[in-house]
Amino acid sequence: MTRDADRLLEEVAFVGFHMHWSVDEILDLEHPLRERFVEEIIGLVRLANG
């Protein structure tokens, strides 16, 4: 796998785990929007963990 493919898999797994969305729903997002969801989820997790 290339680094881009690894990163995509990480994003899909991360968003899917936290948002309970399907792979297809996540892959339908444009890359910048998917990255934004990852950033927002990270912020929420950090906030929840203090």
**15 token code pair:** 């968003």
Integer Cα distance of 49 and 44 in angstroms: 9
Confidence at residue 1, expressed as pLDDT on a 0 to 100 scale = 76
pLDDT in 10s for each residue of the chain, 50 residues: 799 999 999 999 999 999 999 999 999 999 999 999 999 999 999 999 99
Asked if residue 25 lies in contact with residue 12, where contact means CB atoms within 8 angstroms, the answer is no
- Per-residue pLDDT at 27: 96
Range of the domain at 34: 3-49
47-to-4, 7, 22, 30, 42 alpha-carbon distances in Å:
28, 24, 25, 26, 9
Contact criterion met (CB below 8 Å) for 12 and 26:
yes
Per the structure, the count of domains in the chain is: 1
